[in-house]
A = this chain, B = another copy of it.
Amino acid sequence: MPAPRAIAFDVIETLFPLGPLRPLFPRIGLQESDLEPFFASLLRDAFALDTCGIYKPFAEVARASLEQMGIASDAADTIFNGFPNLAAHPDVRPGFERLAGEGVPVIALTNGNADVTRTLVERNGLAELVSRVISIDEIGVWKPRARVYTYAAEAAGVAPSDMALVACHPWDCQGAMSAGLTAGFVRRGHAYGSAMNAPQVRGDSLPAVVDELLAL
């Protein structure tokens, strides 16, 4: 694969870790450790709906995920209200600045909501470094469906093979590669499981992954 001419970044967990949501779970009668099954089952159900040809946005699937854990809709707001206040990983700014210096546009490509993502980007002072926020709400299917990645490449005006996706989720890297993009895996404390194809690049920080992608 050639060095990418544009790079899309997964948003939730890759740019903004969910850890600050953890103390919110005991407030609604769950455990702090319920953060992981909440987020994994949210994605499981969203992907299942996508397989069935049904599109539901992030907030609706997230609400149902909490409902299945016994949480009523108004209590679920306690968790949702935490999302717009997440803080970026400290390595995001240096990674994005490196790309700005090279003239490579940064796209935030999220399964989440566009407004929440724009709020996160702005509150974390990253707005001038992000050329575009794309939510799957524009497209009507969830990552890892190929259409999301090719849509992002079209939006950036480059061929899929000239675009990379950076994510801390193997399923997202796999989706990008299946759609013809280059994938960079950033470890956020997790290994890259062997069930997915290996990404072209992997590293321990966002700048490390970006540097390796630019060196392709």
Query: A43-51, A112-120, A198-206: which one contacts chain B?
Result: A43-51
Taking a contact as CB atoms under 8 Å apart, the answer to whether B43 and A196 are in contact is no
Given contacts A44-B47, A195-B60, A196-B45, contact A175 B67 (CB under 8 A): no
Query: A12-20, A29-37, A84-92, A208-216: which one contacts chain B?
Result: A29-37
Taking a contact as CB atoms under 8 Å apart, the answer to whether B194 and A63 are in contact is yes
Copies of this chain in its oligomeric complex = 2
Give the size of the chain A interface in residues (CB under 8 angstroms). Answer: 44
A31 to B33, CA, bound (A): 10
Does A139 belong to the interface (CB within 8 Å)? no
Of listed A45, A146, A196, residue having the most chain B CB within 10 A: A45
Contacts of A41 in B (CB 8 A): 36, 40, 44
* Nearest neighbor of A53 in chain B, beta-carbon distance: B178
Does A150 belong to the interface (CB within 8 Å)? no
Query: A102-110, A129-137, A185-193: which one contacts chain B?
Result: A185-193
Does A54 belong to the interface (CB within 8 Å)? yes
Taking a contact as CB atoms under 8 Å apart, the answer to whether B193 and A48 are in contact is no
Does A22 belong to the interface (CB within 8 Å)? no
Given contacts A33-B33, A40-B41, A195-B56, contact A175 B70 (CB under 8 A): no
* Nearest neighbor of A48 in chain B, beta-carbon distance: B171
Does A68 belong to the interface (CB within 8 Å)? yes
List 10 interface pairs A-B (beta carbons < 8 Å), by A numbering: A31-B33, A34-B36, A36-B36, A47-B48, A49-B174, A50-B51, A51-B144, A52-B174, A56-B195, A67-B193
Q: Given known contacts A47-B48, A51-B145, A54-B174, what 19 new A-B pairs fall within 8 Å (CB)?
A: A31-B33, A36-B37, A37-B37, A37-B40, A40-B40, A41-B44, A45-B193, A49-B171, A49-B174, A49-B195, A51-B51, A51-B144, A51-B175, A52-B146, A54-B178, A54-B197, A63-B195, A67-B191, A70-B190
A residues contacting B by CB (< 8 A) are: 31, 33-34, 36-37, 40-41, 43-45, 47-54, 56, 60-61, 63-65, 67-70, 144-146, 170-171, 174-175, 178, 190-197
